[in-house]
């Protein structure tokens, strides 16, 4: 398996623009997670899907952020409008089911909002 | 408030030496504790996962211990290699819902030749 695949690897956008990050989880994994990582705040869980259904989105910073998982093999994280403080590395991870199983992370998308 | 505290914040050791990283947590209830290794510019990679009943778990030169009574965990690295230079993150889950996880800030390990 190719692992968790994220795209793009790097994104530079102007403030106010819409940004869409994409993730393909490992086939057969039921759980998908979106994380944000910054130097100041470390790794933060944004949202968690189980069987394509959002279970916990309490980490989503505000209404500008939205995430979807239309099927078991694809998820998006959208920021609209983007702001400079959204600059971070965004990771997608997947696991078979629940916290007791190993989560596999993608390579991340480094987002820079100027 | 659920918290995970890691120490030291950073560590420099010589190649071939051993080292131990610490993780103290106040997460309750407890489901499992995970150690991740994150190389610069890459996503975290799971090293070990331990549940309440497990005291020790090894993965090659990495050995994690867990004391659920004192709520402490350690990650011991034996015979360090240059490739061990990375950030090591301790994550504690409070229930079977993986979304309820608390992350430590990580320990940055540098192994020098």
What would the mean pLDDT of B76-97 be, rounded to a whole number? 90
Across the interface, which of A31, A106, A108 has its CB nearest the CB of B98? A31
What beta strand segments (E) does chain B contain? 4-7, 10-14, 19-25, 32-38, 45-51, 56-59, 62-67, 72-77, 86-93, 101-103, 107-112
Determine the distance in angstroms separating the CA of A83 from the nearest CA of chain B, rounded to an integer: 22
Min CA distance, B49 vs chain A (Å)? 7
Question: Quick check: B81 contacting A, CB < 8 Å?
Answer: no
* Average pLDDT over every residue of B61-78: 96
User: Does residue B43 sit at the A interface (CB-CB below 8 Å)?
Assistant: yes
pLDDT for the residue A98: 63
Residues B77-88, mean pLDDT to the nearest whole number: 98
pLDDT of residue B87: 97
Q: What is the pLDDT of residue B98?
A: 53
| Mean pLDDT of the region B68-97 | 92
Shortest Cα–Cα distance, B107 to chain A (Å): 11
Q: Cα distance from B29 to chain A (closest Cα, Å)?
A: 13
Mean pLDDT of A75-101: 90
Per the model's pLDDT, the better-predicted residue between B70 and B102 turns out to be B70
DSSP assigned state of A18? -
pLDDT value, residue B1: 77
Helix or strand (DSSP H, E) at A111: strand A109-113
Mean pLDDT of chain A: 92
pLDDT above 80: residue A14:
yes
The pLDDT of residue A99: 53
Residues 6+ apart with CB under 8 A from A18: A78, A79, A80, A81, A82
Tens digit of each residue's pLDDT (9 = 90 or more) over A15-69: 999 999 999 999 999 999 999 999 888 898 899 899 999 988 888 988 999 999 9
Question: Looking at residue B97, what is its pLDDT?
Answer: 59
Instruction: Determine the pLDDT at residue A55.
Output: 86
Q: Quote the longest CA-to-CA distance of chain A.
A: 40
Closest-approach residue (CA) in chain B for A31: B98
**If you count residue pairs, one on A and one on B, with CB atoms under 8 Å apart, how many are there?**
62
Touching B: A residues 59-88, CB under 8 Å? none
Give residue A84's Cα distance to chain centre: 18
Beta bridge partners of residue B109, listed in sequence order = B11, B86
pLDDT of res. A92: 97
Nearest neighbour of B96 by CB, restricted to A98, A103, A106 = A98
Residue A12: name the closest of A87, A79, A108, A94 by CA: A87
């Amino acid at each position: 398996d190719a692992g968790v695949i994220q795209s793009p690897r790097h994104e530079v956008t102007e403030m106010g623009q819409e940004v869409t990050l994409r993730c393909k989880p490992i086939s057969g994994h039921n759980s998908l997670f979106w994380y944000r990582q910054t130097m100041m705040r470390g790794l933060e869980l944004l949202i968690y899907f189980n069987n394509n259904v959002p279970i916990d989105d309490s980490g989503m910073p505000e209404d500008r952020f939205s995430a979807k998982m239309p099927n078991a093999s694809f998820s998006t994280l959208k920021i609209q409008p983007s702001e400079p403080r959204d600059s971070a590395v965004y990771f997608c991870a997947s696991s078979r089911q629940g916290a007791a199983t190993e989560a596999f992370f993608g390579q991340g998308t480094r987002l820079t909002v100027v | 408030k659920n918290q995970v505290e890691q120490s030291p914040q950073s560590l420099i050791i010589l190649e071939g030496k051993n080292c131990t990283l610490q993780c103290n947590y106040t997460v309750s209830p407890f489901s499992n504790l995970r150690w991740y290794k994150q190389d610069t510019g890459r996503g975290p990679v799971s090293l070990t996962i331990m549940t309440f009943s497990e005291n020790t778990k090894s993965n090659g030169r990495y050995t994690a211990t867990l004391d659920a009574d004192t709520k402490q965990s350690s990650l011991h690295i034996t015979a360090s290699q240059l490739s061990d230079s990375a950030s090591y993150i301790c994550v504690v889950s409070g229930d079977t819902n993986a979304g309820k996880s608390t992350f430590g800030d990580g320990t940055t390990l540098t192994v020098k030749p």
